[in-house]
Amino acid sequence: MAHSFQTIALIGKYQSPDVAEAVLRIADYLRERNHTVWIEQGTASSIGGYGSYSAATYDEIGAGGDLAIVLGGDGTMLNAARRLGEHGVCLVGVNQGRLGFLTDIGREDAITHLGRILDGHYVEEKRFMLAVDVLRGDSRVFHALVLNDVVLSKGDIGRMIEFDLCIDDEYVYTQRSDGMIVATPTGSTAYALSANGPILHPTVGGIALVPLCPHALTARPVTLPDSCRIDITLLPPHDARVHLDGQTRFDARAGDCVRITRSPHGIRLLHPEGYSYFAMLREKLHWSAAPRHP
């Protein structure tokens, strides 16, 4: 059953002149259709001159918005997803960036596709998120949601780190490496793919563990059920850095446990009718491209 989208928020890539023009053009179009239009506060501040449109915080969008249109690249969508994931607001992505795995509507056709979506002609796709906690002794010192991946890395040091991996309280191994990527199906086509991880279809209930330059040559990526609890405990004297969707980070200390589980929250992506995940992969990963001739 199609949703009714009355209050629509526009979220743009930070400080992008191209996005500023597109935000106001889409805002005018939505107003002509008698929708209530909000412009996300940071977006409104960066574009200036947003006229009679109301600026809204992410909390306000989460509480009262029906749909968020994200104009930018995948990074802009990831940030919006983390901020709105707990609220269940539907998301639509207009690609103003490079790859556009998540922002799949082209900027030239944005008005046409958005009109069709608002008329109820769309494909809805649900993507799950991960909850990340850093435990220090008996205390939780950090918590976050991620859509793509959690990356434990050696940070600025020039040597490997060492950590224990446990799944559902069962010891799996002690690894020496540059770190570990823990990726959702959404994130399986991001950093994890560059580290030779598997591509997981978005409907697969799996979490990919992808070692980063492991010292043991037999260490290989593993796909786990999304019901698992993953504990990565840093062994002294190694500190490490926890990266979240490649956008925020937390500096973990030796002895800290990075606990990763499937979050009860997720995002609802809306695509134009005819959207195909495999067609998107063919385009973005250049599958079936003709060979280049010298």
CA angle 33, 38, 39 (to 5 degrees): 120
pLDDT at 294: 60
Q: Is domain 7-120 given the CATH code 3.40.50.10330 in the classification?
A: yes
**Consecutive 10-residue runs of the chain (294 residues): their mean pLDDT?**
84 80 93 96 84 92 96 93 94 84 89 96 96 97 97 87 97 96 97 96 97 91 97 95 96 97 96 92 85 64
**CATH number for domain 130-263, candidates 2.60.200.30, 3.20.20.450, 3.30.70.360, 1.25.40.10:** 2.60.200.30
Q: Exposed, middle or buried by CB within 10 Å (0-12, 13-18, 19+), for 210?
A: buried
How many whole angstroms separate alpha carbon 128 and alpha carbon 104? Answer: 18
Asked whether 181 and 208 are in contact (CB, 8 A), the reply is: yes
pLDDT at 159: 86
CA nearest to 269, candidates 210, 173, 202: 202
pLDDT at 290: 66
**Hey, is 220 helix, strand or coil?**
coil
Residue limits of CATH 3.40.50.10330 in the chain: 7-120
Q: What amino acid positions are annotated as catalytic residues?
A: 74
pLDDT at 9: 97
| Adjacent-strand bridge partners of 231 | 166, 259
CA nearest to 39, candidates 23, 28, 25: 23
DSSP letter for each residue of 28-60: HHHHHTT-EEEEEHHHHHHH---TTPEEE-HHH
Residue limits of CATH 2.60.200.30 in the chain: 130-263
